[in-house]
Amino acid sequence: MAMSSNHTNLRDIWYTMVGIPGLEYAHIWLSIPICSMYIVALAGNTLLIFLIFTDHSLHEPMYLFLSILALADIILSTVTTPKVLAIFWFRAGGISFASCVSQMFFLHFMFVTESAILLAMAFDRYVAICFPLRYTTILTPLVIARMGIASVTRSFLICFPLVFLVYRLTYCGRNIIHHSYCEHMGIARLACDNIKVNIYYGMTVPLFSIGLDIVLIIISYILILHSVFRIPSRDARLKALGTCGSHVCVILLFYTPSLFTFFAHRFGGHSIPRHMHILFANLYVVVPPTLNPIIYGVKTKQIQDRIFQMFSFHKACF
């Protein structure tokens, strides 16, 4: 009994994240694109939120969802990237257990939340194309707020048990985390206990929730395509599909690398080097937040026009 108590106390030692094992010599070089993308993600998403909330012509459901996505992108990238850069630049990989668990929770929480936001945006496109005359009456600001609250609540209920699952384990003093940030299974593997419950929960619950989102998004787009191809005018069909282009790009950008990382980490075994797993995991929390505002800025005429107006005004002032 005393031994179990001592082991439990060892949970509170200082932990060290090593960054990307096997690529320590390249940390400085890797930090340059990661830092650049993080700055672009912060600037681009902040600009997007500013444009949407200061321009009344952008107070439509599509843009309100986009502003929520931009906020989620800022939080998702900020949960991990500053600490990753601290490891790469200063070898400051030290972290307490509580801080590590907090980072783990917010990382998984924001990932599940962003998936729910993408589902809400797919529903927005479905209503806009299939029920255009009722678009603003169905997706009122109150409905959008409720969908946002539901997304956050669902994510909390899915991810909060992870905190209990890692705190219930006994830790024996292993304190090296072979990663550049804290995630659920990385923490669980430091324990001396049987971690089957962690493995099963970590695989099934998030996978089913994300999988359900993906299935519902696919169903939304099947219904959208069915509705679009019934439009007699070719130009009208192309215009309708064009409104979905940005969202489809963002969906592929979000799910493809994250699902690859998920399955490769669990089923790839030794066929994929560890440093490739971790490098890819670092990129998927910073690349989508970087490219999302660029995609919407390039493909959405209203946002383009608002940006040109803003910069033209500042240029005229000077």
Going from N- to C-terminal start, the domains of the chain cover 14-310
Closest CA to 202 of 158, 255, 136, 151: 158
> CA 84, CA 89: separation in Å to the nearest integer?
9
Report the pLDDT value the prediction gives residue 240, as an integer from 0 to 100. Answer: 82
Give the pair of three-digit tokens for residue 192: 């001396």
CB of 166 closer than 8 Å to CB of 187: yes
Report the pLDDT value the prediction gives residue 5, as an integer from 0 to 100. Answer: 47
CB of 259 closer than 8 Å to CB of 166: no
Distance of CA 80 to the CA centre of its chain: 11
CB of 305 closer than 8 Å to CB of 297: no
Residue 189's beta-bridge partner residues? none
CATH of domain 14-310: 1.20.1070.10
Q: Could you tell me where the DSSP H helices lie in the chain? A: 2-9, 27-54, 61-90, 97-130, 135-138, 141-167, 184-188, 196-228, 234-267, 274-284, 287-299, 301-317
pLDDT tens per residue, range 219-260: 999 999 999 998 888 888 888 888 898 899 999 999 988 888
Say which amino acid occupies 67: S
pLDDT tens per residue, range 128-171: 999 999 999 999 999 999 999 999 999 999 999 999 999 999 98
CB of 282 closer than 8 Å to CB of 164: no
Give the pair of three-digit tokens for residue 183: 């995630």
Q: What are the mean pLDDT values of the chain's consecutive 10-residue runs (318 residues total)?
A: 47 90 94 97 96 91 95 97 97 95 97 96 95 94 95 96 95 91 93 92 88 96 93 84 89 88 68 85 93 90 85 66
